[in-house]
Structure 1
Amino acid sequence: MSPEAASPQLAILQFLNSLQSPARILVAISGGSDSTGLLLLLDEAVKAAPHLKISLCAATVDHALRAGSADEAREVAALCASLGIPHIILTWQGDKPKTGIMAAAREARYGLLAAAAESLEADLIVTGHTFDDQRETLAMRGMRTEQLSTGIADAVLFDRRFWILRPLLFSARADIRAFLKERGVPWIDDPSNEDTNYERVRTRRQLSADTGAEGNIRAAWEERLALSTKGAEWLGRYFTLHGGLLGQVMLDGLRQDRAVLDYALGRLTAVFGGQPFAPGRAHMERILAFATGSEPGRMTAGRVVFDLRRDGLYLTRESRGMVPLVLPPGEAGVWDGRFEVANASASGVRIEAVGVGTKPRSSLIPVLVTGIQPPRVGAVNDLTMREESSAPKDLRALDSCDEHRNEGGWGRGLPKAAAKRAIAASPIALPFEESVPTAKSEGYVRLMPYFAPFDRFLTRFDFIFANRLSSVFATAPYARLPLRSIDGKTI
C-alpha cells in the first residue's frame, strides 16, 4: 500500500507484508491485463512466502453486456484452475438501464463480488486498479471541480462488510503487461476500452505522460485524513443527536476552523438528507454562510432543513420527497437513504413518513429498532410507533407545548417546530395490503440508521469520522481495515 512502489512485484510484496494474517484474499479478475497481472503477481508472492499464511480465491463478474463475455469468463476460470486457485463466475442478471450503465454496472459488480467473498469465505477483496486509472480519474474530476481530489482510494469498505483494497494503485499498466509477457500469459482486451463514447476513454487519450498526479494524490490523502480526524473531534464536542432524527450543532461548533466545519457539516447534511454525497461547492458555500451568520432563521439545502437558533443550528430532513418503500416478507431495503429496513414480518409492508397531522390508522406493524444498544420494540430511538395509532406519542405531546420547551418525551427543551419536522420525517410501517390484519405474532419490521455517504462505500480517509458518527447514532462500528500497516506505518 505504498505510493512509492518501484514495481508491481514490490507493490505486491509490500501489500502482503502489511496484511493481518492469516487471511484469505478474493481477487476480482475480469481477464484484462491489470486484473490478470494482479492474480499472477499475488500467486507467485504467496507461494514464495508460505509463512505469511495467506491464501487466494478469485471471482469473475460477467456483466452480460456484450457477446463473448461468458466465453471470456470461462477463459479466466481455466487460468485459475491451472494455478490451483478456487474461482467462481457471477453474472449480472436482469434488465440493464438505458442510461448510467457504467455506474449501474459498478454497483452490480461490487455487490456480486461481496456475494462471492461470502461464498468463498474470503476476508477481503482486491482489484487491479492501476496508476493509469488513478491519473484518468483525477483528470476527469479536475474538469468538474477545482477542489483537490483524493482520486481512487486505496482502501474502501463496501456495504459495511468487506474491505476492497487496491495494491497496484501506484503501479503502471505498462509494467504489469511487461510482467505478463515475461510469463507468457495472455490477457483479454475489452473493446469498450477503445470506445470514445465513454468519458474515461476520451480522457485517457488526452492525458500527457506526466501530470504530477502522485504528489497531488498524497497531499489530498493526507488532507482528507486530517479532516476526518478533526471532524470526528468536532462531532464529539459540538454535535448532539435528539431522538435519532434531529441534529443540533452548538454555537461554538459553528465558530471552528472553516475547513473542518465544511467537511463535518457537509457530511452531516448528506446523512440527514439521505444523500450519498455532501452538497457541491456552491451549495456548501450557501450553507456555511447561513450557519455562521448572526441572524436566526431557516433554509433548505440537500433535502435538509437548517434551523438557526440562539442555542445552535438544528438539522432535520425536510418534510417532502420521501418516497414509500414496499417490501415483501423477508426482504430488505433502504428507505429515504436514511434507514435500512428488514421486513421480518409475515406480510408485505409499506414504509413511509409519519407526516405532521397524520391521523391514527388501525393496523400498524410493530417496529424493532436495532443497534449496539438493547433492541427496542415499537420505537425509533425515542419515537414511539404504536399499533393503535400512527402518530408518535411525542408528536401528540408537542401540540400543547410552547415554542422552545416541550413537556413530554425526547422533545423536552427543543424548538417545537424543529421537533415536529423531525417526527414528521420519521418512518412508519404499514401493511402493504390495507385489508391484511397485522398481529404481533407475525414478527417485526427491523430498522437501523443508514448513512448514505458511508454505508455503501466508505473510503479509509473518512473512516474515523464515520466511526464517530456510528457512535453518536448508537449503531455498530464499521469493520476495521485488515491491515497491520499503511505506507510502512503501523496502524
Structure 2
Amino acid sequence: MSPDAASPRQAIRQFLASLRSPARILVAISGGSDSTGLLLLLDEVVKAAPHLEISLCAATVDHALRAGSADEAREVAALCAALGIPHMSATWQGEKPKTGIMAAAREARYSLLAEAAEALGANLIVTGHTLDDQRETLAMRGMRTEQVSTGIADAVLFDRRFWILRPLLFSTRMDIRAFLRARGVRWIDDPSNEDTNYERVRMRRQLSAHTSVEKDIRAAWAERLTLSSRAAEWLDRHFQLHGGVLGQVMPGGLRQDPAILDYTLGRLTAVFGGQPFAPGRVKMERILAFAAGSSAPGRMTAGRVVFDLRRDGLYLAREYRGMVPLILQSGETGVWDGRFRVENRLGTTMRVEAQAARSSLLPVPVTGIQPPRVGAVNDSPMRNESSASKGLGAPDPCDEHRNEGGRGRELPTSAWKRAIASAPALSSDGAYLSPESASMVELTPYFAPFDRFLTRFDFIFADRLSAVFAMAPYSGLPLRSIDGKTI
C-alpha cells in the first residue's frame, strides 16, 4: 500500500459512518475494478452494520461507443442480482459528437446516473475514483498551470439535485484489485484505458515510473475552502445586484486581498458571462489590472462581460454579442446563454432571445418589469416575475442606492441599459408573450460555473451568491462529518 493511501475497507467504513442516515446510495458501476470494488466493499460493510440505516442500489451507463458494452452492462446486472442489489442500465442514445467525446460522455453519464437515482429512490451517488485518478488529474493540470490544483473533488453537487461522492479517492487501484482477487471476483478491463489517443492514458503511463510524486491535496482543499468562505463574506460586504442583470462591486471591494479578488471576480465573470469556467490566467490578469490597478474610469470586455469602472465601483454586465436564440417546444426546459434556465409550460413553441433584439417582434401590450429599486441591497425582481422578457424599463433617474460611503448615487444609465439589452426576452409566433402567457414560463437565473457541477470547495461562495440572486439555497452535503470533523 502507498504510504499516502488508505485501506479501501477502512475508507468505506469511515465514509458510511460519516453519512447522514437514513440514506440510499446509488453506486455507479461500469464493471471495471474500481467501481466493482466500490460496490462490493459497500455491500460488505452495509450488511455488517444494519444500524447505519443505509441501503444500496446501482446503475451502469452504457455509452454505446464500442462493441461489447451492452454485454458488459448485463454482466454487471448479473453481479448486482447475485448480491441482491437493485440495478438498472442506461444507454447513451443519439448521435455522438466527432470532437470532445470525453467531455460529452461525462455529461451524458452523470445525467443518466441522476435519472437512475431518481428512478431507484436514491438520495446520493458514489463513484469509484481512486488515488490513481487523483494523481493523473494533478499531473495533467500541472502541465497547464503553475497554480496549486485541488484535483478531483471528493464531493460534487450535480445539477443542484444529487451529491456525487468519491469515498475511495485516497485508496489505490492496486489495493482495490487485491481486495477483488481475495474475494475471487473478476472485473472488466475497458480497452479505452489503453488507448493512447486519450491524454489520461498517456499520463498514466508516464506516472507508472514516478508514483512517489504526490501533493498535499488535503492542504489544497482546506486552502480552497477558506478562500470560498472569505469570498462569500466579500459578497456580503462589497457586491450588489441590480435587476438581476447588473452587478456592482463597491470601491472598497476592489482594494481587498488579491487572492480574494481573483477568486470573486473570476467567478462573477463566469456567472455574468454564462461560462462554465472562470477566465484563464492571462485574461484574469487583465481584469485584475483594470479593476484594481486603475483609478481612472473606463470600460473593458473579457469573458463575454463588459466591465465598467466608475467612481462608485465596478459594474458587470453581459456584453451584447453571441447571444444565440433558444427555441423550446411545449414542456421543454433549456438554458439560454448560460445565464437563465427556462421551462416552457405553454402549449406552444416559444423563443428566448436578448432584449436588444425585440424590435423585430410584433408589439403587444405587456406589463414590464419595473426598474430595480436600487435602494434595496441586491434587489432582483427577476426572481419574482414569471418572465424577465416582459420589457425591462429604462432606469428611473430618481432611483438611488447607497454605496459603501453611504452617499446616494444614480445608477449609471449606460450600464443599466447595457444590462437590460442582455436580459432574456420571450416570444411566441412572432409576438411577445402576454402577461398571462408569461406566467406559464418558469425563468430563473442559472450559474454556469456552479449549477451543473459544484464542488464542495466552492459551495459556500456559490450558496451565498444564490442568496444574492434570491434563489433557493443549494442542497447541503449529505454528510455529518468530513475527515472525522463534524460539519
TM-score by length of 2: 0.92
Contact 1:346/1:443 (<8 A) preserved = no
1:376 aligned to 2:388?
no
Distance 1:462 1:367, change over 3 A: farther
Give me the CA root mean square deviation.
Answer: 2.5
1:52 aligned to 2:48?
no
1:258 aligned to 2:254?
no
1:210 aligned to 2:219?
no
1:102 aligned to 2:102?
yes
C-alpha displacement of 1:375? 6.4
Distance 1:436 1:152, change over 3 A: closer
Give the structure 2 partner of residue 452 of structure 1. 448
Q: What's the CA shift string for 1:434-473, capped at 9, x where partnerless? A: 3899783696221000000000000000000000000100
Give the structure 1 partner of residue 346 of structure 2. 345
C-alpha displacement of 1:6? 2.9
Distance 1:373 1:352, change over 3 A: closer
Secondary structure of the structure 1 residue equivalent to 2:36: helix
| Counterpart AA for 1:472 | V
Aligned partners of 1:374 and 1:284: how far apart in 2?
29
Distance 1:257 1:443, change over 3 A: closer
1:422 aligned to 2:423?
no
| Counterpart AA for 1:163 | W
Q: What's the CA shift string for 1:224-266, capped at 9, x where partnerless? A: 1111000000011000001111000000000000000000110
Could you list the runs of 5+ residues in structure 2 that have no partner in the other structure? 370-378, 402-407
TM-score by length of 1: 0.91
| Counterpart AA for 1:481 | L
C-alpha displacement of 1:358? 3.3
> How many residues matched?
469
Give the structure 2 partner of residue 478 of structure 1. 474
Contact 1:61/1:89 (<8 A) preserved = yes
Contact 1:335/1:351 (<8 A) preserved = yes
Distance 1:123 1:64, change over 3 A: same
C-alpha displacement of 1:56? 0.3
Q: What's the CA shift string for 1:65-113, capped at 9, x where partnerless? A: 0000000000000000000000000000000001000000000000000
Distance 1:366 1:82, change over 3 A: farther
Give the structure 1 partner of residue 20 of structure 2. 20
Aligned partners of 2:107 and 2:455: how far apart in 1?
16
Aligned partners of 2:144 and 2:410: how far apart in 1?
44
Distance 1:367 1:334, change over 3 A: farther
| Counterpart AA for 2:441 | V
Aligned partners of 2:114 and 2:419: how far apart in 1?
35
Give the structure 1 partner of residue 404 of structure 2. none
C-alpha displacement of 1:346? 1.0
Give the structure 2 partner of residue 196 of structure 1. 196
Secondary structure of the structure 2 residue equivalent to 1:465: helix
1:74 aligned to 2:104?
no
In the TM superposition, what are the counterparts of 1:144-223 in structure 2 within 5 Å?
A: 144-207=144-207, 208-215=209-216, 217-223=217-223
| Counterpart AA for 1:89 | S
Aligned partners of 2:399 and 2:458: how far apart in 1?
37
Distance 1:374 1:139, change over 3 A: closer
Contact 2:5/2:170 (<8 A) preserved = yes
Could you list the runs of 5+ residues in structure 1 that have no partner in the other structure? none
Distance 1:447 1:435, change over 3 A: closer
Aligned partners of 1:125 and 1:226: how far apart in 2?
26
C-alpha displacement of 1:294? 1.1
Secondary structure of the structure 2 residue equivalent to 1:139: helix
Contact 1:298/1:305 (<8 A) preserved = yes
